[in-house]
Amino acid sequence: MNSIRRADGTACGISHHEPQTMEKMKLIGRDGDDVLHPTVSGVLMAMDEPESFVSSAYIEAVCHHHVEQNAAYPLDAKDITGPLDVQIQEVYKFVERNMLVYAIRAPNRIYTPPFSMNAAFQAIVNAVVHREYPKFSTLKS
Distance CA 120, CA 102 (A): 17
Asked whether residue 33 falls in the same domain as residue 97, the answer is: no
Asked whether residue 27 falls in the same domain as residue 70, the answer is: no
pTM: 0.73
Asked whether residue 64 falls in the same domain as residue 102, the answer is: yes
Count of structural domains within the chain: 2
Range of the domain at 63: 58-131
Which pLDDT does position 73 carry in this prediction? 75
Asked whether residue 92 falls in the same domain as residue 75, the answer is: yes
Instruction: Give ∠ CA 131-136-138 in degrees, rounded to 5.
Output: 110
Task: pLDDT tens for the chain, 141 residues: list them.
Answer: 445 454 455 555 445 557 788 888 888 888 788 777 888 888 898 888 888 888 889 999 999 876 676 767 788 989 999 999 999 999 999 999 999 888 888 888 888 888 999 999 999 999 998 888 776 543 332
